[in-house]
Amino acid sequence: MSHILAIDQGTTSSRAILFDQDMRIAARAQEEFEQHYPASGWVEHDPEDLWRTTVSTCRAALDSAGIDAGGLAGIGITNQRETTLVWDRRTGKPIHRAIVWQDRRTADFCRELREAGHEAVVTEKTGLLCDPYFSGTKLKWLLDEVDGAREAALAGDLLFGTVDTYLIWRMTGGRAHVTDATNAARSMMYDIRKGRWSQTMCDMLDVPISMLPEVRDSAADFGETEPDLFGAPVPILGVAGDQQAATVGQACFAPGMLKSTYGTGCFALLNTGSDPVTSENRLLTTIAYQLDGTPTYALEGSIFIAGAVVQWLRDGLGIIDSAHDTLALAKAADDAQDVILVPAFTGLGAPYWSAESRGAIFGLTRNSGPREFARAALESVGFQTRDLLEAMQADMAGAGGAALRQAAEATTLRVDGGMSVSDWTMQFIADITGAPVDRPETLETTVLGAAWLAGMQAGIYPGPEEFAKGWKLETRFEPKMDAAPRDARFARWQDAVRATMSV
């Protein structure tokens, strides 16, 4: 039993990667699934697609490596966070499609909470803000809008879970209704300081607390898979939300360390240590990971649209055939044009948190075309990263503590995710932020983090200090843009954002 099977259930695809005893990749499999958009700003997944693609990719990875379930020491799971499912505890049948983290249907209710003065309590208890992004208001919507759901929930017949919980429940044949602290911390129902579900928040959202799963450490016993699923029972030993798993995979174990993942969205997490730092700049206070009953906290900035802006160029505008085409177009763009794209397709995340905003383009001329659109799309990721970095630096400077003050003065971004392979994009991020960008040799940091949590729990992988020694730099991108043009371009971006929010 020397291998770990790591599951990465993401927003657009499910992946399974098999790691050997030296944390090297032995096999991998990936499968995309359909996205559903029933109304403007609404995003849903078929729960059966999440389950089917997870199981099929796990089996494919095992078959590819010639490993049977008896050779597995454990399973680690990392998942798209905040995506919300509710199902019948007896039949296992979901009452509705999964409501995806990008979904904005509860924007009006979130505004009502803010106008009623509840956001201070939300932030105090959960570290979050009143925004449709989080699971709690999605769960309330399901209970309110699905016929008979609230009555069934009050009768104890329905269970809530994020994707990790749903997969574990099905893998264990309904024996384990559990989650980990990082996923619970994204629900808007978990008290991150007391380490338990908040009755105050459940009352505010009108959610029966009995629906919620048991919360465990990120490395723990989450149950055992049904024997017929993979051919033998396998323990599930590690769970973390995707951005927290990437934080672990990047070995950001010390206060002041920062990682930024560029996938469908962009998510930057800054380790703040054993004490939660309350943001003065509308960032989120969250749990980075929890080991041995002790949470490590982080500040997080969430950008809803990063890699998804490239998908929009392909699927929405039809100006590229694949993501690889974007770079050539961006390089060929007219330097005399300054086209700014604000990709608020599903609202704006940190530090603006404007659920009602929608995308906009500024600076178009008669000569603007696919090349300028491609460059503006990639640059939007850099501009949004600077938004987050400036907010984090301000919070760190005000929080106190030597490590955080030092990080505020000299921050290096450890990057990962699909967009991080683009040298052009990473160089622009370094240029516009004025901060070095470090790309590691291993870009599969999210799934590596899930594998390490499970492998450490299984006793075949080392502890945090030894694991951190294995992090290796592949490329460092140093800032090359002078301060004056950097600040001028960022000022243009800020003007564009303000104009977008005012519409």
Torsion angle, alpha carbons of 12, 18, 22, 23, to 10: 10
Find, among 49, 307, 77, the residue nearest to 171 by Cα: 77
Which has the minimum average pLDDT: 187-191, 264-268, 288-292? 264-268
Helix (H, G, I), strand (E, B) or coil at 165: helix
Give the strand pairing for 266-273 and 85-88: unpaired
Query: Which pLDDT does position 405 carry in this prediction?
Result: 60
Query: Which pLDDT does position 258 carry in this prediction?
Result: 87
Q: Which residues lie below 8 Å from residue 180, measured CB to CB, with a gap of 6+?
A: 164, 215, 216, 217, 218, 220, 222, 239, 240, 241, 290
Give, in order, the Cα–Cα distances in Å from 420 to each of 105, 176, 327. 31, 36, 13
Query: Which pLDDT does position 394 carry in this prediction?
Result: 83
Q: How far apart are CA 105 and CA 346, in angstroms?
A: 10
Give, in order, the Cα–Cα distances in Å from 415 to each of 215, 259, 420. 29, 6, 6
Going by the DSSP 8-state scheme, the letter that residue 23 receives in this structure is S
Q: 157-167 in b/e burial notation, b at 16+ Cβ within 10 A?
A: bbbbbbbbbbb
DSSP 378-442: HHHHHHHHHHHHHHHHHHHHHH--HHHHHHHHS--EEEESGGGG-HHHHHHHHHHHTS-EEEES-
Name residue 242's amino acid: D
Give the strand pairing for 13-19 and 25-32: antiparallel
Q: What is the pLDDT of residues 477-495, one digit of tens each?
A: 999 999 999 999 999 999 9
Q: What is the pLDDT of residues 415-463, one digit of tens each?
A: 988 888 889 999 999 999 998 999 999 888 999 999 999 999 999 999 9
Q: Angle at the Cα of 432 (from 447 to 435), degrees rounded to 5?
A: 60
Over residues 60-72, the mean pLDDT reads: 92
Give, in order, the Cα–Cα distances in Å from 75 to each of 234, 458, 470. 7, 9, 21
Angle, helices 324-331 vs 370-399, to 10°: value is 100
Structure pTM?
Answer: 0.86
260: which 2 tokens?
């930024």
> How many other CB atoms are found less than 10 A from the CB of residue 338?
16
Q: How far apart are CA 79 and CA 171, in angstroms?
A: 15
Over residues 218-247, the mean pLDDT reads: 96
Q: In percent, how much of the chain has pLDDT > 90?
A: 69
Higher pLDDT pick, 336 / 76 = 76
Q: How far apart are CA 286 and CA 271, in angstroms?
A: 10
Helix (H, G, I), strand (E, B) or coil at 122: helix
Give, in order, the Cα–Cα distances in Å from 202 to each of 98, 135, 194, 210, 262. 20, 12, 15, 10, 32
Backbone dihedral angles phi then psi of residue 335, each to the nearest 5 degrees: -65, -20
Q: What is the pLDDT of residues 15-51, one digit of tens each?
A: 999 999 999 999 999 999 999 999 988 999 999 999 9
Backbone dihedral angles phi then psi of residue 189, each to the nearest 5 degrees: -130, 0
Higher pLDDT pick, 351 / 75 = 75
Are 77 and 236 in contact by the 8 Å Cβ rule? The answer is yes
pLDDT higher than 90, residue 345: no
Give the strand pairing for 236-241 and 72-79: parallel
464: which 2 tokens?
């945090």
Find, among 249, 232, 174, the residue nearest to 454 by Cα: 249
Give, in order, the Cα–Cα distances in Å from 315 to each of 311, 321, 333, 337, 474. 6, 9, 21, 24, 32
Please, is 322 exposed, middle or buried when counting C-beta atoms within 10 Å of its C-beta (0-12, 13-18, 19+)?
exposed
**In 3-state terms, the chain is what percent helix, strand and coil (to 5)?**
40, 25, 35
